[in-house]
Structure 1
Amino acid sequence: MRLISVVVSVVALASASKLGSYHPTAATLPNCPSRLASPAEQRAIFNDFVNDFYVEKNTTKALLNHMTEDYIQHNPNVLSGRQSSVDFLATLVTPEGVNMTIIHNNFDNNTGYIHYRLDTLGAPEPTAIVDIFRFDGTCIVEHWDVIQTICYECR
């Protein structure tokens, strides 16, 4: 009986010492506000963003989880700030209304890009888009895009 008591005490002490040194992993912390991140962590966060936004087409989730409130938007049709983009994209990007086919994507030196084809329900031609995102640590802080309608009759 005494041996069991000693073993339980040792296990309890070991567990308590681990609790004191517990540090949440990147997966358990929110991405914003920004914190320092290694290039590998930034790439993983970018890939999560790409999945949420372009694959799941859950733009609200992607923006709320990965973008600072005061991010800079360089598209002249959308105001800067996260909420402006949430409002703008909420009705445009829906699972039943668009299909986004990723052609290329990469992340390096605090910058990620996605080159994709956008097919929109009712649009006569698809659109080629490149979205470029600048990160500060774990958050997207800036966005640029290049948008071009693909004209099959022009060839």
Structure 2
Amino acid sequence: MNDAVNEPSSGYSDIDIMRIMDLIPHRYPFLLVDKVVQVDPNVGCIGIKNVTINEPFFAGHFPQRPVMPGVLIIESMAQTAGCLVVATLGPESEGKLVYFMTVDNARFRRPVVPGECMKVHVKKLRNRGNVWKFEGQAKVNGLLVAEATYSAMILDH
């Protein structure tokens, strides 16, 4: 997964926050993807999370040295993958729930702090029916900050 932003093959580009809220059911304060800048249906996508001091979790994690919790970085990967799923399956899948089933090989390389722009690179590894497996990487300024392999089940709400 490279850091380049290529023109998507699907006609999807720059999916803004309002459209993301059509695609996935998450809402503030748990919506952790602000924009999708690349989508290649059935292959992968790149989402953006602008990390600001206004995030509610920073009040307690940690007040003297705010750090984005690793589990929320993984959640940002999952939400970006949810956008990929909808781009792959089409409009009838909009708003479906995506439930984590597994998270494997999660690695956190360095903290993500307020003021940083995190690019979330998601690649679909495979899917069988409503179970999908992904590889995710989070990068800040092109440097890997976190990575994981995870699977999810897509269900109607």
Is TM > 0.5 for Structure 1 vs Structure 2? no
Larger radius of gyration: 1
The structure richer in helix per residue is 1
What TM-score do you get using the length of structure 1 for normalisation? 0.30
Q: Normalising by structure 2, what TM-score?
A: 0.30
